[in-house]
């Protein structure tokens, strides 16, 4: 399994970092939400599947920092990050040994969140109950230009479409294993 994930990650990150222009991406990310343990029948059983269509990738507002403040001319093109460091400017971020994909949510972006219990989609009633056990995270705050920026851990991505290329984690399971 480790070789499958590594092959998939290498192919996907390579495609992200080789994007030449600003483009739209679609992807599916599966994470484990942070939940309260006390009297929680779902603890350790829930995954959150987030599907994102038409997010803007490889874009930035050149000449502005993360808060939308103008940068001095000598700093343009070196926009700082409040966390991590640019691995490939505007594309990927490295933080604590992980690679993150950065994208903007624009009016055309469609996001769908679904909870899975033991790998099976939760019913509407179960979803509402699961939400009562989740720790609340902060609201998405748009930057000075009105855009919401998100960074996704590439190890959580199971599907990516960029520039007419599609990457599915399960496609890499049929590759011969090395080692």
- Quote the CA–CA distance of 154 and 167 in Å, as a whole number: 12
Q: Is residue 89 one of the residues assigned to a domain?
A: yes
Structural domain for 117, as ranges: 2-174
Domain count, the chain: 1
Task: Please list, in sequence order, all residues whose beta carbon lies within 8 angstroms of the beta carbon of residue 18, skipping any fewer than 6 positions away.
Answer: none
- Quote the CA–CA distance of 22 and 78 in Å, as a whole number: 17
Q: Is residue 111 one of the residues assigned to a domain?
A: yes
Q: What is the pLDDT of residue 179?
A: 39
Average pLDDT over residues 34-40: 92
**88 has a pLDDT exceeding 50:** yes
Q: Which of 165, 158, 164, 166 is nearest to 4 (CA)?
A: 158
Residues in the chain: 179
Q: What is the pLDDT of residue 132?
A: 92
Q: What is the pLDDT of residue 160?
A: 97
- CA 173, distance to chain mean position in Å, is 22
Q: What is the pLDDT of residue 99?
A: 95
Q: Is residue 179 one of the residues assigned to a domain?
A: no
Q: Is residue 129 one of the residues assigned to a domain?
A: yes
Quote the Cα angle for 157-60-62, to 5°: 160
Q: Which residue's structure tokens are 């399960």?
A: 170
Q: Is residue 166 one of the residues assigned to a domain?
A: yes
Write the pLDDT tens digit of every residue in 98-135: 999 988 888 889 999 999 999 999 999 999 999 999 98
Q: Is residue 120 one of the residues assigned to a domain?
A: yes
- Quote the CA–CA distance of 143 and 77 in Å, as a whole number: 18
Q: What is the pLDDT of residue 177?
A: 46
pLDDT band at 178 (very low <50, low <70, confident <90, very high): very low
Average pLDDT over residues 22-35: 94
Q: What is the pLDDT of residue 149?
A: 82
Q: Is residue 107 one of the residues assigned to a domain?
A: yes
Q: Is residue 158 one of the residues assigned to a domain?
A: yes
- Quote the CA–CA distance of 130 and 67 in Å, as a whole number: 34
Instruction: Specify the 3-state DSSP secondary structure of 105.
Output: strand
pTM: predicted TM-score of the whole model, two decimal places:
0.81
């Amino acid at each position: 399994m480790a070789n499958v994930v590594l092959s998939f990650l290498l192919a996907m990150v390579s495609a992200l970092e080789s994007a030449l222009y600003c483009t739209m991406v679609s992807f599916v990310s599966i994470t484990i939400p942070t939940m309260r343990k006390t009297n929680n029948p779902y603890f350790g059983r829930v995954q959150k599947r987030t599907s994102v269509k038409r997010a803007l990738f490889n874009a930035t507002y050149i000449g502005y920092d993360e808060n939308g403040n103008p940068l001095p001319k000598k700093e343009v093109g070196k926009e700082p990050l409040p966390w991590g460091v640019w691995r490939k400017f505007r594309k990927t971020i490295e933080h604590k040994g992980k690679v993150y994909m950065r994208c903007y949510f624009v009016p055309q972006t469609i996001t769908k969140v679904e909870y899975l219990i033991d790998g099976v989609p939760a019913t509407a009633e179960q979803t509402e109950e699961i939400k009562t056990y989740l720790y609340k995270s902060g609201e998405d705050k748009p930057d000075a230009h009105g855009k919401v920026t998100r960074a996704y851990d590439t190890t959580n991505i199971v599907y990516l479409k960029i520039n007419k290329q599609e990457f599915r984690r399960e496609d890499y399971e049929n590759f011969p294993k090395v080692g």
